[in-house]
Structure 1
């Protein structure tokens, strides 16, 4: 049975980082990236923990093992990860109340559990656990990551803007 909750221990955060490593392009073939999707950001334990202390990351746990996660990235971390700075600049220009949006900093489901609703349930849990005053989940997806774009659209994310930054096409998407 899969349990959806918020991360509370360093051990859970270490499992997030381990799952993250498995899904970074540097550890995957180009064909696997295209077929399975991929992650863009590699987090340090320090930033992952600081983000979690502000708003607990959503995790899917089965038999004591983290098999999926959605990282909560409070707006106060807008300047902490270089590749995500343009996303927050876009959010600030597009939304009337940018600080009422929680950025989903990264989502990942273990390959063994894909296609079983884990992705959808991570977002449902995240929406249900948003801190008071937050009403929107917002994230961006690399335009080359067709698997992720389709998965976000399938659960109701709408595209706010497509823009280019760092020689990549980004799709800024939101779920209300």
Structure 2
């Protein structure tokens, strides 16, 4: 049985980091990247903890182990992670007046639990837990990550724009 909720302990934060480590670009093979997707950002425990204090992350657990997560990133962290700064700049271009949004900073599901509705339920749980304080979830997806884009569109995300940062094209998307 999978249980969904918010992070309540340091151990859960460490389990998020362990799952993240298994899905980083330099760990996953090129073929697997195309099929399964990857996570882009490698967080530290300190930043993950600080983010969680402002808006607790969403997790899925099975037998007491975190098997999926959706990180809640308050706009106050716009300058905290270098690779995400361009996304916040683009958010300010697309929605300069919007103040009540949260960024989904990363989503990941353990391989053994993919294709079982965990992705959809993580976002459903996130929406239920952030409202009414935040009326919009914004995130970005690498335009080449077809699996992730399809999954996001299937739960109701809409595209705001495509932009280039570094050597990648990104889709800036939102869910309300």
User: Shorter-chain TM-score category?
Assistant: over 0.9
Partners of 1:98 and 1:148 lie apart in 2 by 25
Q: TM-score, normalised on structure 1?
A: 0.98
Partners of 1:107 and 1:90 lie apart in 2 by 20
List structure 1 segments (4+ residues) > 4 angstroms apart after TM superposition. Answer: none
Partners of 1:148 and 1:52 lie apart in 2 by 23
Q: Which residue of 1 aligns with 2:144?
A: 144
Q: Which residue of 1 aligns with 2:24?
A: 24
Which whole-Å deviations, capped at 9, do the CAs of 1:9-53 have from their partners, x for residues lacking one?
110000000000111111110000111011100000000000001
Q: Which residue of 2 aligns with 1:54?
A: 54
Q: 3-state SS of the aligned residue for 1:27? A: coil
Q: TM-score, normalised on structure 2?
A: 0.98
Q: 3-state SS of the aligned residue for 2:43? A: coil
Superposition pairs of residues 123-142 of structure 1, within 5 angstroms: 123-130=123-130, 132-142=132-142
Question: 5+ residue gaps in structure 1?
Answer: none
Q: Which residue of 1 aligns with 2:119?
A: 119
Question: 5+ residue gaps in structure 2?
Answer: none
Partners of 2:123 and 2:93 lie apart in 1 by 24
Number of matched residues? 176
Which whole-Å deviations, capped at 9, do the CAs of 1:88-109 have from their partners, x for residues lacking one?
0111111143321100000001
Partners of 1:171 and 1:82 lie apart in 2 by 18
Q: Which residue of 2 aligns with 1:10?
A: 10
Partners of 1:167 and 1:51 lie apart in 2 by 27
